[in-house]
Amino acid sequence: MRRIAAALLVVIAGIVVGYWYVAGRGFSAREEPTRIEEAIALQLRSLATPRDARSRRTPLPPGAETVRAGMEHFADHCAICHANDGGGKTSLGTGLYPKPPDLRAARTQNLSDGELFYIIENGVRLTGMPAFGGADTDPNDSWRLVAFIRHLPQLTPEELARMVQLNPKSSEEFERERAEQEFLQGGSTSPPPKGHTH
């Protein structure tokens, strides 16, 4: 009975401290997670990945073609949050809580290929990382992303420039680029409209 009472007191104390902490600070996605939150999240991510998933190996041949295909897929689907260089410094990424990890850093690069594949396919709960796998998707796309994530620390300026061309564009950006091309080719006498897009 004493153990139950002690456990109940610990739970109540945790709730009180948690309420005091949140009431004093609020919840904002702009903040960085505390070290305790980070440690808990990393432990939960590890526990959420089944053992057999960690040991999976890519069925794709290694090489430049696999990395190139992964780069194209990453630029189109992942860079909006993770940035073309994998650093996570984007307007969307910096507004997430927790922030997208730096995919070039050891914390990501030390994960097994199977762990990276599992995260891409199944997402990470309570974060902005969605699950990209499913019955209507090709799992090889995720394996290509794994190959590209491994390549991120060696990304070249030429590859970054190529990725910018592959990033999704708004209709305003398409129109501005079309107008720029017309202007440069002499088909238009007025310069393209200036402005910024999000």
Give pLDDT, residue 22.
62
pLDDT greater at residue 66 or residue 186: 66
Give pLDDT, residue 18.
66
Residue 19 placed within a domain: no
Query: What is the count of structural domains for the chain?
Result: 2
Residue 5 placed within a domain: no
Whether 132 and 193 share a structural domain: no
In this structure, what token pair is assigned to residue 188? 């238009």
Return d(Cα 112, Cα 31) in angstroms, integer. Answer: 29
pLDDT greater at residue 84 or residue 185: 84
Give pLDDT, residue 134.
86
CATH at residue 56: 1.10.760.10
Give pLDDT, residue 162.
95
Whether 190 and 143 share a structural domain: no
Confidence label for 115 from pLDDT (cuts 50, 70 and 90): very high
User: Concatenated DSSP letters for 162-178?
Assistant: HHHHHS---HHHHHHHH
Confidence label for 113 from pLDDT (cuts 50, 70 and 90): very high
CA quadruple 115, 131, 95, 40: dihedral sign = negative
Whether 114 and 186 share a structural domain: no
Whether 87 and 135 share a structural domain: yes
Residue 26 placed within a domain: no
How much is the mean pLDDT over the chain? 85
Whether 175 and 159 share a structural domain: no
Half-sphere exposure of 163 (CA within 13 A, CB side): 26
Return d(Cα 149, Cα 103) in angstroms, integer. Answer: 7
Does residue 163 contact residue 79 with C-beta atoms inside 8 Å?
yes
| Structural domain of 64 | 32-167
If you ran DSSP here, which 8-state letter would residue 153 be given? Answer: G
Residue 6 placed within a domain: no
Residue 101 placed within a domain: yes
Whether 116 and 183 share a structural domain: no
Confidence label for 104 from pLDDT (cuts 50, 70 and 90): very high
Most confidently modeled range among 40-49, 53-62, 117-126, 144-153? 144-153
pLDDT surpassing 50 at residue 198: no
Entry pTM: 0.74
Taking only Cα atoms into account, the Rg of the chain, rounded to an integer number of angstroms, comes to: 22
18-63 pLDDT tens trace: 666 666 666 666 777 778 878 877 787 777 788 899 999 999 998 9
Which distant-in-sequence residues (6+ apart) come within 8 Å of 28 by Cβ? Answer: 97
